[in-house]
Amino acid sequence: MFGGSSLVGDGEVPKDGEIGDPIPSTYVPFRNGVFLALAVSYAEAIGATYVLGGMNALDYSGYPDCRPEFIESFNSTVSVGTKAGVEGRPIRVVAPLLEMKKSEIISLGLGLGVDYGLTWSCYDPDGERPCGHCDSCQLRARGFEEAGTIDPLLVR
């Protein structure tokens, strides 16, 4: 389904570059829009009120569908494009990590008992190891450094 992105095999994943400007080749066209649309459809089918997204707009690669204005716009579309919305029971997409620094997200997760050794961020892994050079690896490394802790994924 997805194409036009180095993240899904169309070209090389950029390494060791500036992050977020311009929008990198790892941007997957409207990926979050597609995922959120599927999640909202399911939410409406089961009568849920909220859809949670993990987007972040502070320490990120500059993808348009990770920004607050996208979430606001998408929620407007959901309100007018669903039976629940038209009947006054709007489904809301919320993104609680949206305006948090990566280090704050890491600290929050550690406080909640997240085992980051089981999480993955790399766009271009080298077998079983993260590459350490893509935007996502750089952002993750910076986040762990700023949080004052070691990424357990790198020491397992």
- The nearest distance, CB 138 to Zn ion, in angstroms, is 8
Q: What radius of gyration do the chain's Cα atoms show? A: 17
- The nearest distance, CB 102 to Zn ion, in angstroms, is 14
What value, to the nearest 5°, has the Cα angle with vertex 27 and ends 145 and 94?
70
- The string of DSSP letters for 50-84 reads EEE----SSSS---GGGSHHHHHHHHHHHHHHSHH
Chain positions 22 to 41 lying near Zn ion, rule: CB under 5 A, are none
- The nearest distance, CB 54 to Zn ion, in angstroms, is 18
Please state the φ and ψ torsions of residue 50, each to the nearest 5 degrees.
Answer: -125, 150
- The nearest distance, CB 154 to Zn ion, in angstroms, is 11
Measured from the CB atom, the residue of 65 and 151 that comes closer to Zn ion is 151
Chain positions 119 to 148 lying near Zn ion, rule: CB under 5 A, are 122, 130-131, 134, 137
Measured from the CB atom, the residue of 13 and 91 that comes closer to Zn ion is 13
Measured from the CB atom, the residue of 71 and 122 that comes closer to Zn ion is 122
Measured from the CB atom, the residue of 107 and 136 that comes closer to Zn ion is 136
